[in-house]
Chains A and B, each alone.
Chain A
């Protein structure tokens, strides 16, 4: 039983077809990397899943059969889908702790909130900075805070959009560990990245997108060896 199913999704902007009958399925407990050249539709895919972009046709299904295709952003979020954006978008006027509190979500049970916040602070290593306004954090700390916000919500589907963009090697390694620690048996994690070493470190399987369609799906090694993938993306 898949945790997330994308079925023949089509997203169109004017005359431009961003996603062209895209299909994808992620198993629970899996970390799936989505890679591809720029303009392949990776961010659009995440937009469609979170409800920012409306698909023209096709379906998006959560593990329990919930159809998210036409749901609103807030509804999708409450169904357990969380996204970490490319640009760190924390709330600069609020403290780290308050950010994490919001990350927990509106349906966060009051009893559980302090527990989750403490856990998120610990796992992201931001305990020392808990009362600092998020606008004052360094770039890397902001990325972790975002991951922490996502953690606090205990999502069923976690979408990470270029989590290591702009990070140093050390920070990248730490992020890879963090993502590893995020695995849960009932959680599906989708990662978009360009850093191939990072992808190899975190992902179970890899989906290669090209011009809005799936080009290859399987282990990273297989992707490296695939002729089409090399032609379009990796090689030359």
Chain B
């Protein structure tokens, strides 16, 4: 900084204190001066100015003759002289009056001081917020200085954004063009609005260079935002499909194996979610330091909980309904009714509250407004792992082989010595366990209550019908298709229309291929 400016910037504290005790015009002039020089003032001066301005706002300033006293709190008996710092009693002092316009100025200047000299991020953020309210009066240099000195990345980004806005309205046309280009390089919905607002500017009509630059920038931002939104839609579709896959995979295996339509599948998802809640509460009570890991700890618990309930149902009820798919359907419906109301009576119908560990909160912005949120990524990763494990189990383990054999030809498998009833039981448990896993995955995303299963069960059925019975790959493809279609259509026509169109699509598809996408061909 040139030395002349430095000399000018040294603050005359006494003069400021006197002015603040003066009339409205004096106050305004003095505070404006502080603001104007804030970019070049020393930290010490700024901090001092901030203190005295805050005192003024909080009614902790007392005027005694030509000097001002800063009180610790409003109405205290004595305070410190603002200029010298010595303690003096307040007697005979008066409280300076602050008019509306002056108050606004003081808030802005105080904000500037906080921004530049505040000790912690919160203070500085509050200061920035104050500045934002009257951004037009804030000198650009101040923002630049704050930005270069700022350590907190979030705050720095905020500062950059505001500096940018200021630059967009700068008097210098070259700076404006540069600012426009800078904004278009960080596209987002907010950026788009900021640029569109400039269309009302006088320069848009008068300056051809300005207009073409602005139009080009707008086009670029718009395209980027659309791409970003498209990515967001795909991402949401992928996460929905992941949960759908986990819910439907078990259904497909059970249906292929035993011909049982499990109307209680949604409730296995619910059991998984409630088991997760149980794990969270247990961890909170027993090992609160490990709370963040509750989701991971819940994975085996949820699987086992749902699997055990499934095995119990198979052993107690379904075993007696062998080869009676109709009655099995009604029986599983009765079980579903029982489970929903049982949980409702035992725990209550309210939505459960889940802590959000850092690995499922927030996300990283990837492109334009598209943020890769961790909770959905968790669901997607979870489903991928589930897919791999399921395929490995089905293709590489003896149990998987037995499941496939019994699915394709039950009688023959029995003749070969495979204990088909045992396979049924284990497979039912496995399928239910998979649904339980879906319950874990959706805790960070969807609300959890006793009736939550109903939201997924119809879609899971559609996935099984579309993908073909008994096939995991078919389930995957169908889940991607249905999940994706749902999420793609929803922003265009609404959620209900999405479901209608997807259902109509499935019915039409079944016209051509009634067995579904990947059905196993069975010889009669």
Contact = CB atoms under 8 A, between A and B. Distances in A.
Contacts of B523: 13
- Does more than half of chain B's interface fall in helix, strand or loop, or is it mixed? loop
Interface in B492-524: 521, 523
A13 B515 CA distance: 14
Interface in A1-34: 13-14
B460 to A, nearest CB: 27
A83 to B, nearest CB: 13
A13 B521 CA distance: 9
Contacts of A14: 521
Interface string A155-167: 0000000000000
A36 to B, nearest CB: 16
A13 B524 CA distance: 13
B402 to A, nearest CB: 24
Contacts of A13: 521, 523
Interface residues of A, number: 2
Interface residues of B, number: 2
A13 B523 CA distance: 10
A14 B523 CA distance: 12
A206 B521 CA distance: 31
B439 to A, nearest CB: 37
A119 to B, nearest CB: 32
Nearest to A39: B523
Nearest to B523: A13
Contacts of B521: 13-14
A27 B11 CA distance: 121
A14 B515 CA distance: 14
B251 to A, nearest CB: 25
B518 to A, nearest CB: 12
Interface string B403-446: 00000000000000000000000000000000000000000000
A209 B281 CA distance: 70
A14 B521 CA distance: 9
A183 B487 CA distance: 65
B471 to A, nearest CB: 14
B368 to A, nearest CB: 46
A75 B142 CA distance: 89
Interface in A137-154: none
A39 to B, nearest CB: 10
A14 B520 CA distance: 11
A79 to B, nearest CB: 23
B435 to A, nearest CB: 31
A196 B521 CA distance: 32
A115 B479 CA distance: 58
A204 to B, nearest CB: 29
A219 to B, nearest CB: 32
B390 to A, nearest CB: 24
A13 B519 CA distance: 13
B230 to A, nearest CB: 37
Interface in B426-470: none
A14 B519 CA distance: 12
A13 B520 CA distance: 12
A36 B394 CA distance: 36
B165 to A, nearest CB: 64
Interface in A175-206: none
Nearest to A47: B524
A42 to B, nearest CB: 13
Nearest to A87: B524
Nearest to A52: B524
B411 to A, nearest CB: 13
A48 B523 CA distance: 14
A229 B521 CA distance: 31
Interface string B469-486: 000000000000000000
Interface string A55-99: 000000000000000000000000000000000000000000000
Nearest to A13: B521
B101 to A, nearest CB: 84
A50 to B, nearest CB: 13
Nearest to A85: B524
A174 to B, nearest CB: 28
A14 B522 CA distance: 11
B71 to A, nearest CB: 91
3 contacts: A13-B521, A13-B523, A14-B521
Interface of A: 13-14
Interface of B: 521, 523
The 3 closest A-B pairs by CB, nearest first: A14-B521, A13-B521, A13-B523
